[in-house]
Chains A and B, each alone.
Chain A
Amino acid sequence: MSFTEILFYVFSAVLVVSALGVITARNPVYSALWLVFAFFNSAIIWMLLEAEFLAIILILVYVGAVMVLFLFVVMMLDIKVEELRAGFTRYAWLGLPIALLVIGEIGSVVWVKSQDDKALGLSSVASPAAYAADYSNTKALGQLLYTEYLYPLQLAASILLIAIVAAIVLTMRKRSGQKVQDIGAQISVKAKDRVRIVKVAAVQPETGNTVEGQS
């Protein structure tokens, strides 16, 4: 077993543990942190596969932005996990066989070798050769995305744009009781709108008569 393989198994094991942590943690903040940890481990595994761009982008986008907002929401909402867990055993009879089925399917893809040569198993695929030292994953991805996958890339961008537009349309609306600053109104305000200079005549303390001229 080479050093890379040992690393791979170590990080995979940690990844599986942290993934389990996501679903077993009692505190949703802990779940989110386990997920962050899982992202880090998968980034490292990607790094081992010489896909450094994907690895760093995973951290940058998911750990740096998505999970921050996730934590933001989780902390604000004060979710009671116990209540969510209440139905767990009730649906376990349905979930368990499905989980086993999926594990079996993955297992059959990874390990089982069928009779004819069209095996699905990993053994039927040669492991890819290591890249040259000057191979740049970033450059390779860029070249593929902007030539072969140009059209799908633009479509995916449109989908993201429409998601933004739809989200803003649905959430940004005039509600009563909102305290929103109107910059235009603030800038265009004149002194006379705010301050009224009133000339008040001074009053003689004893008599209560107003005094004209100097006081």
Chain B
Amino acid sequence: MNAVPDLIQPVFDFLNLPDWLRLVAWTVMTAVMMFLTIIIFMAFLTLAERRVIGSMQARIGPNRIRLFGLPYFRGLAQPFADVIKLMFKEIILPTGSNKFLFILAPLLTAIPALATWAVMPFWPGFTVANVDAGLLYILALTSTGVYGVILAGWASNSKYAFLGAMRAAAQVVAYEIAMGFALVGVVMAAGSLNLGQIISAQSGGISNWFFIWLFPLFIIYFISGIAETNRAPFDVVEGESEIVAGFHVDYSGMAFALFFVAEYINMILISALTSIFFLGGWLSPFAGVESLPAILTTSGLHWLVFKICFFLFCFLWFRATFPRYRYDQIMRLGWKVFIPLTLVWITVEAVLAVMKIGPFARLMAN
């Protein structure tokens, strides 16, 4: 819980709010602000995806709809046009589908994707909810996101959708284990489950960031993250060339939009978490270098956003360049490569800590 900043206090005084309500009101306000920011970020991510992949494939991408008819930034308003289109489309309920679960499924996908952001540390001292076991909270919530996909596939009463759902169930469970083990390494290094403290444990220059000593875990975490979000090259869940669009083949309008929103928010989430766990979150890589301008050496939101954007670009880059994995190859990679690798690296880390080598020596101090 964050203290109400002085800037807002006069507004609350004017409204004559009681003390307990001020805290509640402020928390709600931060949550809403965060929610809106993420949604807008997500909207432009869809545009960025189309433009980036377009230029990688030597095409132009959306370039028609201008923001308020401004002469530059062609295509900037494309996301809004898409939203308006989706909002006015009819949500078709297929005959023979399970109506209740069909409607529930997109919500079950979108809600955990948004709720996870509650524990995200954006800049020093700011999170909507500062939970001690924040990392566990994130793991728990992201693991429930798959229900929407499974239920969507089942409730549609369509073979393609069902195949997609089955693939999603197996894939998510497989990669969740590798992801969890990678995070065990992070928790061991940081000595805390609190995201803010995980970042502070990496402070003191770029050499303290976990991606150096936990490099295999860093790579595995990010790739598992891509698999968890069902993005290319792990998008057999959708697999448009084989099972049309997988679990959401029967969805249209806003119901489809919710799946879409959840997928992109999860992409941002994985990028943010990778930055926090391995690249020091809001920490600046140039901390302590006097000759650079202050904006580069101070830690803050801008560094987190920069790192998030870098990983998002990787997401798009991978989609543009890699061919899709076959289903059994995905399973092999998850179970036979990633899980053993993470286990080995956790052991290496433990040995390093006990032998007092590298930055983990401080773990044995207490």
Q: Do A and B bind each other?
A: yes
Q: A residues near B, CB below 8 A? A: 29, 33, 36, 52-53, 56-57, 59-60, 63-65, 68-69, 71-72, 75-76, 136, 138, 181
In the complex with contacts A68-B172, A72-B169, A181-B328, A59-B133 CB distance below 8 A: no
In the complex with contacts A64-B144, A76-B166, A138-B193, A71-B150 CB distance below 8 A: yes
Most A CB atoms within 10 A — which of B133, B172, B176?
Answer: B133
B146 at the interface (CB under 8 A from A): yes
B133 and A56: CB pair below 8 A?
yes
A interface footprint on B336-362 (CB within 8 Å = 1, 0 otherwise)? 000000000000000000000000000
Partner of B154, one of A29, A36, A56: A29
11 residue pairs from A and B, CB less than 8 Å apart: A36-B147, A52-B133, A63-B143, A64-B139, A64-B176, A65-B176, A69-B173, A71-B169, A75-B154, A75-B166, A136-B132
A interface footprint on B138-154 (CB within 8 Å = 1, 0 otherwise)? 01100110110011001
A interface footprint on B162-175 (CB within 8 Å = 1, 0 otherwise)? 10011001101100
In the complex with contacts A36-B147, A52-B132, A59-B143, A68-B154 CB distance below 8 A: no
A60 and B147: CB pair below 8 A?
no
B136 and A60: CB pair below 8 A?
yes
B140 and A53: CB pair below 8 A?
no
Docked CA distance A71–B169 (Å): 9
Q: Which residue of B lies closest to A65 (CB)?
A: B173
A64 and B143: CB pair below 8 A?
yes
B136 and A53: CB pair below 8 A?
yes
Residues of A contacting B: mostly: helix
Interface residues on chain B, number (Cβ under 8 Å): 24
B137 at the interface (CB under 8 A from A): yes
Residues of A within 8 A of B144 (CB): 59, 63-64
- Tell me the minimal C-beta distance from B176 to chain A in angstroms: 7
Partner of B169, one of A57, A63, A69, A181: A69
Residues of A within 8 A of B101 (CB): 29, 33
Residues of B within 8 A of A56 (CB): 133, 136-137, 139-140
- Tell me the minimal C-beta distance from A169 to chain B in angstroms: 16
B162 and A75: CB pair below 8 A?
yes
Docked CA distance A103–B193 (Å): 40
- Tell me the minimal C-beta distance from B4 to chain A in angstroms: 20
Docked CA distance A86–B140 (Å): 38
Docked CA distance A136–B166 (Å): 38
- Tell me the minimal C-beta distance from A14 to chain B in angstroms: 17
B170 and A72: CB pair below 8 A?
yes
Docked CA distance A66–B173 (Å): 9
Q: Which residue of A lies closest to B104 (CB)?
A: A33
Residues of B within 8 A of A57 (CB): 136, 140
Docked CA distance A136–B136 (Å): 13
A-B residue pairs, 10 tightest by C-beta: A64-B143, A59-B140, A56-B136, A72-B169, A60-B140, A56-B140, A68-B169, A75-B154, A60-B139, A65-B173
Q: Which residue of B lies closest to A59 (CB)?
A: B140
A65 and B166: CB pair below 8 A?
no
